[in-house]
Amino acid sequence: MSAQLNPDEIRKRIARRIALELESGMVVNLGVGIPTLIQDFLQPNHGVFLQSENGLLGMGPTPPDDEFDMDLISASKHPITLEPGASIFSSSDSFAMIRGGHIDVAVMGALQVSERGEIANWSIPGQDILGVGGAMDLVASAKTMMIAINHLTKDSKPKLVRNLSYPTSGIRFAQKVIDGGERIFIENSRMILREIAPDCTLEEISATTEAHFEVAEDLKTMPVTPHAMGSGIA
Amino acid sequence: MIEVVHSQKLKTAQEAVERIQDGDSLLVGGFGLTGTPFTLIDTITEQDRARNLTIISNNLGEAGKGLGKLLNSGHIRKAVGSYFTSNRDAVQAWSRGELEIELIPQGTLAEAIRAGGAGIAAFYTKTGVGTSLGAGKEERVFCGERHLLVEGIRAKVAIIRAYKADTLGNLVYFKTARNFNPVMATAADLVIAEVDEIVEAGQLEPEQIVTPHSYVDILVINDRYEKVGGTYVERSVEPG
């Protein structure tokens, strides 16, 4: 699937597609990894308020190299900018915003997602992963969760599984999953394939997805190029 | 030489870190390297008085930088925080059994420090319910939802990073270098703040002050690091 694309292009494709999901007025937390590419793929005047766990509402795109300031960073610890009207606050205020239910959408990476939408995104059994960050706070309290992932793990195993075999991040469920080849909605504990990338086939997706999923009657082609998404997107 | 307005709270970094004892618990500000009190950390490493430290901080810096330096110099016994994977040295020290690690979700960490500083012994949160990090914790249902009991966190000493202080010790922060620093200023017996500049009391607008001076015991000037191309680097010339 998408064999001609390098990993970096696939990450950008996912970030671009998720940018289209975000609507004006939403407060959206961007987690570590692919999600913190999204600020560079929003339309001008998008009206989305990007929240960063390290204490920022109103995150803007990556600055040019000569304007980097490591005192102004995203959750991935990459330099970013401030949108007009941005505010900066402490980590405790930031997590009060997260845990108090004030985040409309949390976009996060995952190691596995079960077919019901359970999320495993902090630990792999037998591996030295000593980090949880804000993942469990977001899973416990964000109004909705959108998962931005590569389709397969680094050792080519399905990330979309029937049941989690990695430790769960909480007891709440994700609503959407977007990877390089597909856009899936999770409704009533069922995965429904809504879009498929033009360079993927249903057979490929079925062969590389352990989770049961249904195919939407009106299955659409995922817009993957800047051109297909309308002008003005990077 | 950096010009400094005199403050009764002003000490050298060496004088300040002499207050840290072997086996102490330390709250250390920063998110990655952003908002890290580099001068104080380097001075603890060099002074080499206090070992077996328990460090409570979101991360352990990066490999060889910030708290990563204090780890490599063998001063840290235990780390309490949310994300250590970004420092490969920390992961290796842990797998060799040389470093104890307690992993806490970042929001639970921030709130536990807030509670510790606010005289709240413990609180209930939904974060971590049903996970292995929540296993064994007391659980209670409020409004139909499961919650975990978490105890507040305090430490003997906090070392934090602010942008500017006034002579009384009021603090303001710079951009996202604020992160854990203000909350940590509330939750330790001794609070040492590293700043770039000290101005006369009255020069900071009251509405601008984030950390009121009563939380701050000692001010130290960052005379070792400067920002070059947006990144903090050690000054090439020793301060006069």
Q: What is the pLDDT of residues B112-158, one digit of tens each?
A: 999 999 999 999 999 999 999 999 999 999 999 999 999 999 999 99
Looking at the complex, report in whole angstroms how far the Cα of residue B128 sits from the nearest Cα belonging to chain A: 6
**Contact (Cβ atoms closer than 8 angstroms) between residue A1 and residue A180:** yes
What would the two tokens of residue B170 be?
A: 């009021």
CATH of the domain at B206: 3.40.1080.10
| Residues of A assigned a catalytic role | 53
User: Rounded to the nearest 5°, which phi and psi values hold at A99?
Assistant: -75, -20
Structural domain boundaries, residue B60: 13-106+154-222
Q: Is A123 in CB contact (< 8 Å) with chain B?
A: yes
* Interchain proximity B85–A73, CB inside 8 Å: no
Looking at the DSSP bridge assignments, the partners of residue A193 are A184, A215
pLDDT attached to residue A228:
58
When CB atoms are compared, the residue of A88, A89, A98 closest to B107 is: A98
What would the two tokens of residue A140 be?
A: 């416990």
Q: Is A73 in CB contact (< 8 Å) with chain B?
A: yes
Cα distances (angstroms) measured from residue B37 to each of A147, B11, B17, B67: 35, 15, 12, 9
- Arithmetic mean of pLDDT, B58-87: 97
pLDDT along chain A (234 residues), means of 10: 77 96 98 97 96 98 96 97 98 98 98 97 88 97 98 95 98 97 96 96 96 97 74 40
CATH of domain A7-222: 3.40.1080.10
pLDDT attached to residue B239:
52
In a domain, B21, yes or no: yes
In a domain, B129, yes or no: no
Chain B residues in contact with A167 by the CB 8 A cut-off are 131-132
Token pair 């049903």: residue: B130
B155: left (phi over 0), alpha (psi -120 to 50) or beta: beta
In a domain, B238, yes or no: no
**Contact (Cβ atoms closer than 8 angstroms) between residue A139 and residue A99:** no
By C-alpha distance, which of B215, B201, B208, B209 is closest to B167? B201
* Interchain proximity A135–B130, CB inside 8 Å: no
Give residue limits of the domains in chain A: 7-222
**Contact (Cβ atoms closer than 8 angstroms) between residue A64 and residue A75:** no
In a domain, B76, yes or no: yes
Query: Count of domains in chain B?
Result: 1
